[in-house]
Amino acid sequence: MPPAGGPGTVDAHITLEELATASGLDVETLEELRGYGLLGPTSVGGAEYYDDEALAVATLAAGFARFGVEPRHLRLYKNAADREAGFVEQIVLPLVRQRNPEARARAVTTSEELLELGRGLRRALLRASLRELFGN
């Protein structure tokens, strides 16, 4: 297991095989997720490790797989996440560019708040769309 990272780093701590065991997916499916940009390892001393976010993605992908959803279908979530990240980046970039600890802390807090707002808006819009589907 690689050493833990410092502030601002993500601790990557499990191998692909361990990720497969923990998520319930086979290595081939994890490789597909990686190929579609949904998983990305961190290289430590020539070895590749995955972090908690990768485990979350793999576990959620396993949940989708129970409904017959393949990794290629999950690209829409990756595309949406990339667009949303770009949106958040536009808002917090002026704070990040200030290069002082207080501004960076505000950037992190602001991005977390924007992510929560986005999560709520997506959920509300999705529920409204599905309500129309079921005629409620």
For 71, which DSSP code? G
3-state SS track over 7-43 = CCCCCEEECHHHHHHHHCCCHHHHHHHHHCCCCCCEE
pLDDT for res 64: 98
Tally Cβ neighbours within 10 Å of residue 92: 18
CA distance linking residue 108 with residue 116, whole number of Å: 12
Average pLDDT on 15-33 reads 97
**pLDDT surpasses 50 at 4:** no
pLDDT for res 5: 42
Is pTM, for the whole model, over 0.75? yes
pLDDT for res 134: 87
CA distance linking residue 49 with residue 107, whole number of Å: 28
For residue range 28-52, what is the model confidence (pLDDT) as tens digits?
999 999 999 999 999 888 899 999 9
pLDDT for res 8: 41
Cα–Cα nearest to 33, from 55, 66, 49, 48: 55
CA distance linking residue 31 with residue 39, whole number of Å: 8
For residue range 76-133, what is the model confidence (pLDDT) as tens digits?
999 999 999 999 999 999 999 998 999 999 999 999 999 999 999 999 999 999 998 8
Domains of the chain as residue ranges with CATH = 12-69 (1.10.1660.10), 74-134 (no CATH)
pLDDT for res 34: 97
Cross-strand bridge partners of residue 49: 42
Compute, in degrees rounded to 10, the torsion defined by CA atoms 65, 25, 11, 2: -170
pLDDT for res 100: 92
**pLDDT surpasses 90 at 2:** no
pLDDT for res 44: 86
pLDDT for res 11: 59
